Amino acid sequence: MSELKSILPDEEAFANFKMQCLSTENWHNKYNKNEMQVWIEHPQGALYGNNVPKVHKMKCKMTIKDVSAATMYDVIHDGKFRSTWDPNMLESYDIARLSENADVGYYSWLCPKPLKNRDVVTLRSWQVKDDEYIIINFSVKHKSHPPRSQLVRAVSIQTGYYIKPIGPNSCTFIYLSQADPKGSLPKWIVNKASQVLAPRVLKCVHKAGQNYPAWKQHNCPSVKPWLHPEQNSLPMMDPSEVSIQRADSLENVDESSKVDGQAGEDSS
- Say how far residue 58 (Cα) sits from the centre of its chain: 10
On whether residue 28 sits in a domain, the answer given is yes
On whether residue 35 sits in a domain, the answer given is yes
Residues paired with residue 156 on neighbouring β-strands, in sequence order: 179
CATH number of the domain at 105, please.
3.30.530.20
pLDDT at site 219: 97
Count of structural domains, the chain: 1
Could you tell me if 40 and 57 are in contact, meaning their C-beta atoms sit under 8 angstroms apart?
A: yes
On whether residue 6 sits in a domain, the answer given is no
Q: What is the full per-residue pLDDT of the chain (268 aa) written as tens digits?
A: 444 446 899 999 999 999 999 998 889 898 899 899 999 887 654 444 445 555 678 999 999 999 999 999 999 999 999 999 998 899 999 999 999 999 999 999 988 777 889 999 999 999 999 899 999 999 999 989 999 988 989 899 999 999 999 999 999 999 999 988 876 666 666 666 666 778 888 999 999 999 999 999 999 999 999 999 999 999 998 777 888 887 777 766 655 555 444 444 443 3
Range(s) of the domain holding residue 128: 11-43+53-247
pLDDT at site 186: 62
pLDDT at site 190: 62
pLDDT at site 264: 41
On whether residue 20 sits in a domain, the answer given is yes
On whether residue 261 sits in a domain, the answer given is no
On whether residue 21 sits in a domain, the answer given is yes
Angle at 186 between CA 189 and CA 244, to 5 degrees: 80
On whether residue 267 sits in a domain, the answer given is no
On whether residue 168 sits in a domain, the answer given is yes
pLDDT at site 120: 94
pTM for the whole structure: 0.86
pLDDT at site 141: 92
